[in-house]
Amino acid sequence: MKPAGYLAGGIAGLVLVPVVGIALIAGVAEAQQQATAAATPAAAGGLIGGAVPAAYAAAVAKAGVSCPALSPALLAAQLQTESGWNPAAVSLVGAQGVAQFMPGTWPGWGRDENGDGTASPFDPADAIPAAARYDCALAAQVAGVPGDVQQLMLAAYNAGPGAVLAAHGVPPIAETQSYVAAITRLAATYAAPVAVAVAAPATGRAATIIGVALSFRGTPYLWGGSTPGGFDCSGLTSYAYAAAGVTLPRTSQAQQAAATPVSDPRPGDLVFMGGSGTGTATHVGIVIGGGLMVDAPHPRSVVRIEPYNWPDLAGFGRVT
């Protein structure tokens, strides 16, 4: 299938851990207690609660375990990349629906899953299981090719199994390589993190920064937002730091350039994603410990907790 566009991914988080210390002003302390005691519910199938649109969550959780090469998180990331969860999407080359099936491919995989009398690529109830079936069939076709079976499966979905077999791996097609990379990254943000213990609780200024950021869990993402009405990634970090008396530049790139790079991240430090050098980050979050961050990831998401071990992790920064 031809992707309809690449979207940065993931939504709310699940964590049952203490993440900040007790040396906080009363309002921040209350926010911390709430964040520690009450996590965002997890969806079925190991998905982060609220990550997948509610109308499709059950179908993704069920179809995502159709074969060992697939997972609900990977399928969710694929569907987002294909269509942005738009069941009426039609690409420039004619791919249709939430899973972007080409008209010539659909009849071999589509079924009337919900008993409405029609098997349609524009009906997510039909298209989501069909995408999973097709993924699994492709995984079987490329199983003998060296490499990561999930990446090979995704490459086959995008470029066709023949291209993967001919290349003996992910083919050197820019679109396909971008497609595989985008979905691999997104899958990590859809998977519900396992509860972990924070190695060292934050204190002082770091506790204030984290507490303020956590108090906005569930706040909708807003491009350019830097107020409680909505945040983008750098808007959240600059707002939380300002509450602790620290002024940050407004963008993730400028924040990366202003921070001192560190290899031993502590709670309250900044974590950067993307880019190829200082000042080129495309995303920023706040380290809370235990391999986790609080961030505002992308449109149609909310402020949440998630692991920061993204494939494009660019490093950590400390502002003193």
More confident site: 157 or 304: 157
Joined together, the tokens standing for residue 21 give: 């210390």
Which contacts (CB < 8 Å, 24+ apart) does range 58-62 have?
59/124, 59/125, 59/128, 59/129, 60/128, 62/129
- Which pLDDT does position 37 carry in this prediction? 35
Weakest mean pLDDT among 8-17, 36-45, 225-234: 8-17
- Which pLDDT does position 278 carry in this prediction? 73
Cα–Cα nearest to 121, from 143, 100, 140: 100
Please list, in sequence order, all residues whose beta carbon lies within 8 angstroms of the beta carbon of residue 177, skipping any fewer than 6 positions away: 155, 170, 171
218 pLDDT band, cuts 50/70/90, is confident
| Element containing residue 305 per DSSP (H, E) | strand 304-307
- Which pLDDT does position 35 carry in this prediction? 38
More confident site: 39 or 89: 89
Q: Return the CATH number of the domain spanning residue range 54-190.
A: 1.10.530.10
Is this structure's pTM higher than 0.95? no
Please list, in sequence order, all residues whose beta carbon lies within 8 angstroms of the beta carbon of residue 210, skipping any fewer than 6 positions away: 19, 20, 32, 202, 240, 267, 268, 286, 288, 294
- Which pLDDT does position 203 carry in this prediction? 73
Please determine, for residue 30, whether its predicted confidence score (pLDDT) is greater than 60.
no
The amino acid occupying position 192 is A
Percent of the chain with pLDDT over 70: 83
Are residues 61 and 44 in contact, defined by beta-carbon separation less than 8 angstroms? yes
Are residues 252 and 263 in contact, defined by beta-carbon separation less than 8 angstroms? no
- What average pLDDT does this structure show over 150-169? 95
Query: In CATH terms, are 26-41+195-318 and 54-190 the same topology?
Result: no
- Which pLDDT does position 1 carry in this prediction? 60
Sequence spans of domains, the chain: 26-41+195-318, 54-190
- The single residue listed with the structure tokens 């969550």 is 57
- Which pLDDT does position 290 carry in this prediction? 82
Please determine, for residue 54, whether its predicted confidence score (pLDDT) is greater than 80.
yes
What average pLDDT does the structure give for the chain? 83
- Which pLDDT does position 4 carry in this prediction? 35
- How far is the C-alpha of 318 from the C-alpha of 2, rounded, in Å? 41
Q: Return the CATH number of the domain spanning residue range 26-41+195-318.
A: 3.90.1720.10
Please determine, for residue 151, whether its predicted confidence score (pLDDT) is greater than 80.
yes
Joined together, the tokens standing for residue 252 give: 């993730």
Q: Give Cα 46 distance to the centre of its chain.
A: 13
Sheet containing 304-307, strands listed edge to edge, beginning at the edge strand earlier in sequence: 260-262, 313-318, 270-273, 283-289, 292-295, 304-307
- What average pLDDT does this structure show over 212-229? 92
Joined together, the tokens standing for residue 126 give: 């039909």
- The 10s digit of each residue's pLDDT in 97-122 is 999 999 999 999 999 999 999 999 99
Number of Cβ within a 10 Å radius of residue 55: 11
